[in-house]
Chains A and B, each alone.
Chain A
Amino acid sequence: MFDFYFEIPLVIRLILQGLAVIMVIFPIAGACSMAERKVAAWIQDRPGPNRATVPWVAWIPFLGKFLQRLGVFHVMADGGKMMFKEDSLPGHVNKFYFVLAPIVAMIPALTTVVAVPFGAYFDAAGKLIPLGLAPLDIGMLAVFAVSSLGVYSAILAGWASNSKYPFLGSVRASAQLISYELSMTLAVLPVFLWVNAPGTEGTMGFARVVEFQSQPGFLGGMWFGFLMPISAFIFLVALFAETNRQPFDTVESESDLVGSFHTEYGAFKWGLFFVAEYSHMIVGSGVFMLLFGGGWNPLPWVSLATAVEFLGTFLPFAHAPLFVGILSIAIFMGKVLAMIFFFMWVRWTLPRFRYDQVMKIGWQKLLPLSIANLLFYAIAIALIQK
């Protein structure tokens, strides 16, 4: 049915796939900005933005009103406004680096998606084939390497803005990102120690991690979040810090830094920073779900294969690769969106840490904890897998 697709030259196919993924991430990032406002409103007992509407949608009897109340058209209004605003370039900035910074923010944020598998299907032989732009064997390393490039955008933006608050903000951002990267990396090591058992082919890829969480049996079907709760917790906290989300919001703290490194930015260039932040959140949530949340497995101890088997009892097309692929992507996206909701929920619950507290938590609490955690699991895994 889809043979024509595989006859297209590989380069064009990859470009099409890449565009398809970007076409999904961009609207999700936009929708997240709306969701953020809605969640904020609901938590504060307000209805949230619910006025903007488009005439021909408003005429649809029930759905039109529902979409309006949901604030869907505010996203479009906001985005449209961003497009048509004057893209000002302040006179006192270093123009080249000022323009470069949002681009440098956007590129790593979208590039990390390449290494993240977002679904899977079973081929004719029953083998699990992960769906992703590039099924890299070094998945985790690639994500760490590329996403840490994001710090350059903060540094460049703060430095090129040539003014006080952006500079302070970028110094904070770079210090914070570097501090929490250590604990984050140490927190995922036990997972890969466990996955790379002696005698197996070594890998840093995500697909194997998910495969490990979908084995039969009590321990096999257990997600790594249950098996290594401390790792998951450290990774989660570090993820909040890496994505500059509350309570590690010191980088952007409006009350003392105006708007941090994007103070001098406006219109579309600011929008790029904004989308980059949400893309980081989406990819970060995806990585968390792959490592600790079972990836595309619907429930703990219920793997995708089991779910497909169960659906196959009353759905004739349940074993079709297309259906399995869409099902797994839906499960994975559902988990990622739940994670993003959690980000927002935390944001509207906690006040931000002071900057010295952020540093203290990072270096004096999380880092020793992650080292102890690594040692514990290294010894435990060595004893179990010898």
Chain B
Amino acid sequence: MAVITVERKPLTFLERTYLPQIAGGLKTTFKHLIAPKKTLEYPEQRPAIPVGYRGVPTLVKDPNGREKCVSCQLCEFVCPPKAIRITPGEIPADQADRAHVEKGPQAFDIDMLRCIYCGLCQEVCPEEAIFLQNQFSMSGYTRAEMVNHKDRLYELGGTLPDAHHKWDKKKAAEEHGNTH
């Protein structure tokens, strides 16, 4: 590597007085003084959430309003801080619209004091039932308040569009006499 000798010019008299630099600095700060403010005033103004943002994990329903989660417990197993607790349950026989759904969680708790927002649950979920969505602020006065139960998770999650319609296909296949 060649060594390049940079000539260092001695400071001029004006530069040594430091005054032109001060004047330049004052000019810059004055520009900022009258420039529009860059701050978001938080509770009233919210930041735009970028695509792919990992916020609070939520459970989502399919377009028919059914739970997508089948309580396979993969997210519970993959969760690094063990924030997820699932109690698997059967689908009650009296719910006709859920007749073709395999299973559903009886209880689904995510402890937000443990969650590290890594998104592994979303990645591992075979049913596309758990998503880290846009909510970024979680607060509560007690530890119990910081645990999101199943109903709260669905309330946060809402319904997302679904490309697969797995249970509809299963129902149609069954009506045609195929098991799958």
The residues of A with any CB-CB pair to B shorter than 8 Å are 39, 42-47, 345-346, 348-350
The answer for the CA separation of A195 and B36 in the assembled complex, in Å, is 47
Residue count of chain B within 8 Å CB distance of chain A: 15
Do B29 and A43 touch (CB < 8 A)? yes
Do B32 and A42 touch (CB < 8 A)? yes
A346 cross-chain contacts in B, Cβ below 8 A: 22, 26
Do A350 and B39 touch (CB < 8 A)? no
A45 cross-chain contacts in B, Cβ below 8 A: 32, 35-39
- Given contacts A349-B22, A350-B22, A47 and B29 within 8 Å (CB-CB): no
The contact string, 1 if C-beta is below 8 Å from chain A, for chain B 12-48, is: 0000000000100110111011111111010000000
Do A39 and B33 touch (CB < 8 A)? yes
CB distance from A231 to the nearest CB of B (A): 16
The contact string, 1 if C-beta is below 8 Å from chain A, for chain B 32-66, is: 11111111010000000000000000000000000
Contact of A43 among B32, B36, B39, B41 (CB under 8 A): B32
CB distance from B18 to the nearest CB of A (A): 9
The answer for the CA separation of A39 and B28 in the assembled complex, in Å, is 14
Q: Which secondary structure characterizes the binding site on chain A?
A: loop
The contact string, 1 if C-beta is below 8 Å from chain A, for chain B 128-150, is: 00000000000000000000000
A39 cross-chain contacts in B, Cβ below 8 A: 33
Q: A45-B32, A349-B25 are in contact. List 6 more A-B contacts (CB 8 A).
A: A44-B32, A45-B36, A45-B38, A46-B39, A345-B33, A349-B22
A44 cross-chain contacts in B, Cβ below 8 A: 32
The answer for the CA separation of A45 and B33 in the assembled complex, in Å, is 7
A46 cross-chain contacts in B, Cβ below 8 A: 37-39
Do B32 and A345 touch (CB < 8 A)? no
Do B37 and A47 touch (CB < 8 A)? yes
Contact of A349 among B26, B36, B39 (CB under 8 A): B26
* Contacts across chains A and B counted by CB atoms under 8 Å: 35
CB distance from B127 to the nearest CB of A (A): 45
What is the chain A residue whose CB lies nearest that of B35? A45
The answer for the CA separation of A349 and B34 in the assembled complex, in Å, is 14
The answer for the CA separation of A39 and B39 in the assembled complex, in Å, is 15
Do B29 and A345 touch (CB < 8 A)? yes
CB distance from A50 to the nearest CB of B (A): 8
CB distance from A247 to the nearest CB of B (A): 9
CB distance from A45 to the nearest CB of B (A): 4
CB distance from A60 to the nearest CB of B (A): 20
Do B30 and A47 touch (CB < 8 A)? no
Interface centre among B26, B29, B41 (most CB of A within 10 A): B29
**27 residue pairs A–B, Cβ–Cβ below 8 Å:** A39-B33, A42-B32, A42-B33, A42-B34, A43-B29, A43-B32, A43-B33, A44-B32, A45-B32, A45-B35, A45-B38, A45-B39, A46-B37, A46-B38, A46-B39, A47-B37, A47-B39, A47-B41, A345-B26, A345-B33, A346-B26, A348-B29, A349-B26, A349-B28, A349-B29, A350-B22, A350-B25
- Given contacts A45-B35, A45-B37, A45-B39, A345 and B22 within 8 Å (CB-CB): no
B34 cross-chain contacts in A, Cβ below 8 A: 42
The answer for the CA separation of A47 and B33 in the assembled complex, in Å, is 10
Interface centre among A47, A345, A346, A349 (most CB of B within 10 A): A349
CB distance from A233 to the nearest CB of B (A): 9
The answer for the CA separation of A46 and B39 in the assembled complex, in Å, is 6
CB distance from A288 to the nearest CB of B (A): 17
The answer for the CA separation of A28 and B141 in the assembled complex, in Å, is 42
What is the chain A residue whose CB lies nearest that of B36? A45
CB distance from B38 to the nearest CB of A (A): 4
The answer for the CA separation of A349 and B33 in the assembled complex, in Å, is 11
CB distance from B34 to the nearest CB of A (A): 8
Interface centre among B28, B34, B39 (most CB of A within 10 A): B39
The answer for the CA separation of A349 and B25 in the assembled complex, in Å, is 6
The answer for the CA separation of A350 and B28 in the assembled complex, in Å, is 11
What is the chain B residue whose CB lies nearest that of A44? B32
What is the chain B residue whose CB lies nearest that of A247? B22
The answer for the CA separation of A43 and B26 in the assembled complex, in Å, is 10
What is the chain A residue whose CB lies nearest that of B21? A350
CB distance from B13 to the nearest CB of A (A): 13
What is the chain A residue whose CB lies nearest that of B16? A365
B37 cross-chain contacts in A, Cβ below 8 A: 42, 45-47
The answer for the CA separation of A348 and B33 in the assembled complex, in Å, is 10
A43 cross-chain contacts in B, Cβ below 8 A: 29, 32-33
The answer for the CA separation of A349 and B35 in the assembled complex, in Å, is 15
What is the chain A residue whose CB lies nearest that of B31? A43
The answer for the CA separation of A180 and B35 in the assembled complex, in Å, is 36
A345 cross-chain contacts in B, Cβ below 8 A: 26, 29-30, 33
CB distance from B36 to the nearest CB of A (A): 8
The answer for the CA separation of A92 and B4 in the assembled complex, in Å, is 60
CB distance from B99 to the nearest CB of A (A): 55
CB distance from A370 to the nearest CB of B (A): 15
The answer for the CA separation of A341 and B49 in the assembled complex, in Å, is 39
What is the chain A residue whose CB lies nearest that of B30? A345
What is the chain B residue whose CB lies nearest that of A347? B29
